[in-house]
Amino acid sequence: MSMEPVCLVGAGVVVPGCEGIEDLWRRAQDGPPAFGFPDRCRSYEALSSAGPDEPGRAAYDLRFGEVAATSATGSIDGQASFERGDLQVSWLRRCLTQCLSTTTEPAPHSRSALFLAASTEANHELDAALAADMVLDGMVERLPAGRPEARNEIRQLLQEADPCAASPHGKFLPHKQAERAVHGILPEDTPILVVDNICPSGLYAVDLGVKHLLDGSVDIAFCGGMSSHGPLRQVYFSEMGALSTSGRARAFDAEADGTLFSEGAAVVVLKRLSDALRDNDTVLTLLAGFGGASDGKSKAIFAPSQEGQTRAMIRARSVNNVPGAQVAWIVGHGTATRAGDTTELHSIAAAHPDGTPWVTSNKPLLGHTGMPCGIVSLIQAAMGLHRSTVPRQPNHKTLPEHALALPVRIPSAPEPLMPTATSGEPPFAGVFACGLGGINGYQLLRSLGSGPHDVSSSPPSLCDELALVSWTALVPGRADDSAVAARLSRGDAPSQERRFESPYPIPSFKQSLIIPQIAAQLDMSQLLAIELVSRLGDAGKDHLWEGLEERIGIFGARYGPSQSAADSAVRCLGSSLVRSLDETAAQEAADAYLREHAAKTRPVGPYSLVGRMSSAALGWVANRRDFHGPTMMVDAGLASGLAALHTASCYLRRGEVDLALVLAWNAGCIEQAAQSLGISPHEIAEGAFAIALARPETARERGWRVHARVHTDFRAERTARDWSQQPSYLAADGLVAVLRAVLEGEQPQRFGGAAAPSVSVLPGPEGG
């Protein structure tokens, strides 16, 4: 297992006005600003959050930064078909092509992998297609029988309003988008791991790439992020009061009045330093330590927390014991929201004692790109280190009043990045991102320099196998764990029932620690996750995690969008999509469906975005329970449960987490999930499952019973045992398979497949 540094040897970026990293370097400083009224929103100009029969209101501001439909360099490798309606796939392919054009061609035996930040929550294609699917289903039910061709005819009309509505939504699930993006560009057997904790996701994707390079499971890590923006997200952030009222983003400035959004994709190429030097690659920077942290308890799940941000930054510095004064420049999150920027500046000052770092943000001219924002900032920081230059900060006059006395500097002109004055060592730079749900990420970089490369990119691995120390299940009928265990041990499904109550009951405050008025605005999957962890922690007198809160990580898996996501997509986009219908009967059917849907669902409000996000389900747990480790959703399609177990092991083995809670659930949107998989809804069951993993040493110290040992491997194992269940719990099937192996006592067993990490379940220690 290697402890040499990992380095960045190539990058690609497609964001508004930028087709490549040189464009990014120039435009982030000199503009012009990327924002305007997008062509994509022409059909949604009259957008209102009200239903079709409810009083309207003033249209939302739909201005954001849009990636041009055709790049300056034309279509890539004849892939023009990706340009229309398949936005993120097109952008990601262009980024990958840029990366390959500036790095050494991989050797035939080299093992590549893609670690991608992507989400159902930042995905306009999915929103439009999902709204179209649901409207189409509702219309067909209300049209006269005897016209089997009506469905295709209506679909053709809906795509006139938005090309993204041309295909079923299953095409735009992130793992499917990633598979299409790499096709014909990266090797056919390239494993893909999609991570989602919103804004810091790109930095977590990089960290996972680093870990897999050092573990020796990959030789080249492509780490990136992608997001497409659209009217629905503008509505969400308008309701939250986060958008700039002036139309001008002023990061870290006293006159900041809100953020401006954009979209795009960005990718970096990572290698072990010895491989990069052997291949004669240009080394832009060394990866010098990552820190991840949750805010824990704070005043609100979407309020920035200095404690959580500072914790992430200090954790990154601790990887190499970097003094605060040696971090010369920080590319901050800098969204131009007054509270957010002020908190971030205080966090930077607290986490870098004795330093006076330059602080910049690229969002004033590029916009907040969402999932790839951490990668965009990482590329800018790497280029600055390589050029020994800090770029100037546009749209900035003076620091906010509450930050005037802080030891930070905002550059009004490009500034030189010099070696550290006291030691003459190459300077460090930091990249920070934080997101809704209280998750933070901080990546340190260092110039290559000419001296010894004594930098660690990640903590060393402490163990190979992990201990499964607890589990629980929440299934329809609410059987206790002993009843679920009995069913699994004899080969039955976890529950005889397949659906939860509808509407799902709001958990008591004792269970959720969330006041009922807010809990009522959350998707049922979030309520499930909160209740599931409450069950997992109930170990008698003390909670399972008592005393370990500082380093508890939560890793989640689900398949497809939440029910709340689907409902808000229909409420916001449905009426605009059906305006293209030219038949009276079809229009009447659409209007009837939309009226009925509006009567059954909540209007979009301040909690709608947080309430639909799968990653926020984990954030609620960390927030209410005061956990401070990383949280993230993991997407590998139906193999997501296995992928979440593997991702948890990456952090446990290196000591960054002491207890990992791995959650997988399936709840809501059953009809849509079935459509995307081409199966019957009756083949799908709802349920939620949790497994707690720890290092064997921690289990011994705590006196925990070890139910089984667990070993994971990133590379697909084609001969591994199938993990799928009947009925299927979709993303949770992998966890159910592991639990079944434990409870049946049939070990060892290895689960995996052609596109999934493998998970081995081994007998626990004797007497464990």
Question: What is the 3-class SS of 503-525, one letter each residue?
Answer: CCCCCCHHHHCCCHHHHCCCCHH
pLDDT band at 45 (very low <50, low <70, confident <90, very high): confident
Show the CA angle centred on residue 74, arms to residues 68 and 75, nearest 5°. Answer: 95
* pLDDT for residue 423 is more than 80: no
Q: List, for residues 508-548, the tens digit of each pLDDT value.
A: 888 788 888 888 999 999 999 999 999 997 654 457 999 99
* pLDDT for residue 766 is more than 90: no
Beta-carbon contacts of 89 under 8 Å, excluding residues fewer than 6 positions away, are 82, 177, 180, 181
Q: List, for residues 622-647, the tens digit of each pLDDT value.
A: 999 999 999 999 999 999 999 999 99
Domain 466-561+613-763, CATH homologous superfamily name and number:
Thiolase/Chalcone synthase (3.40.47.10)
Q: List, for residues 130-148, the tens digit of each pLDDT value.
A: 999 999 999 988 888 766 6
DSSP strands (E only) in 687-764: 687-694, 708-716, 749-753, 756-763
Q: How many residues in the chain?
A: 768
How many whole angstroms separate alpha carbon 653 and alpha carbon 646? 11
Same CATH topology for 6-45+59-120+173-446 and 466-561+613-763: the answer is yes
* pLDDT for residue 758 is more than 70: yes
CB-hemisphere CA count at 13 Å for 664? Answer: 31
Place of tokens 């405050």: 509
> Under a CB-based contact definition with an 8 Å cutoff, are residues 366 and 266 in contact?
no
Confidence at residue 124, expressed as pLDDT on a 0 to 100 scale? 97
How many whole angstroms separate alpha carbon 719 and alpha carbon 749? 11
The phi, psi pair for 13, rounded to 5°, reads -150, 135
Confidence at residue 54, expressed as pLDDT on a 0 to 100 scale? 47
Q: Which of 41-55, 274-288, 557-571 has the lowest mean pLDDT?
A: 41-55
How many whole angstroms separate alpha carbon 599 and alpha carbon 54? 10
Cα distances from 281 to residues 102, 106, 455, 456, 760, in angstroms, run 8, 11, 19, 20, 37
How many whole angstroms separate alpha carbon 60 and alpha carbon 194? 31
pLDDT band at 83 (very low <50, low <70, confident <90, very high): low
23-46 average pLDDT score: 91
Query: Of all helices (H) and strands (E), which one includes residue 751?
Result: strand 749-753
pLDDT band at 70 (very low <50, low <70, confident <90, very high): low
How many whole angstroms separate alpha carbon 446 and alpha carbon 423? 14
Domain ranges for the chain = 6-45+59-120+173-446, 127-169+567-600, 466-561+613-763
Task: Give Cα 323 distance to the centre of its chain.
Answer: 30
Say if pTM beats, i.e. exceeds, 0.85: yes
Query: What fold, for 6-45+59-120+173-446?
Result: Peroxisomal Thiolase; Chain A, domain 1 (3.40.47)
* pLDDT for residue 197 is more than 90: yes
Share of the chain above pLDDT 90, in %: 78
Q: Is 241 helix (H, G, I), strand (E, B) or coil?
A: coil
Structure tokens at 115: 């670690």
* pLDDT for residue 184 is more than 70: yes
DSSP strands (E only) in 621-748: 631-635, 659-666, 687-694, 708-716
> Under a CB-based contact definition with an 8 Å cutoff, are residues 254 and 144 in contact?
no
Which of 594, 348, 319 is CA-nearest to residue 460?
319
How many whole angstroms separate alpha carbon 559 and alpha carbon 675? 13
Structure tokens at 714: 């990133």
Q: List, for residues 710-743, the tens digit of each pLDDT value.
A: 999 998 777 778 889 999 999 999 999 999 999 9
Show the CA angle centred on residue 751, arms to residues 116 and 639, nearest 5°. Answer: 35
Q: List, for residues 477-497, the tens digit of each pLDDT value.
A: 999 999 999 999 999 999 999
Show the CA angle centred on residue 572, arms to residues 567 and 573, nearest 5°. Answer: 100
Which of 142, 210, 337 is CA-nearest to residue 651?
210
Confidence at residue 566, expressed as pLDDT on a 0 to 100 scale? 97
Q: List, for residues 311-355, the tens digit of each pLDDT value.
A: 999 999 999 999 999 999 999 999 999 999 999 999 999 999 999
Average pLDDT value for the chain: 92
Share of the chain above pLDDT 70, in %: 94
587-607 average pLDDT score: 93
The phi, psi pair for 14, rounded to 5°, reads -135, 100
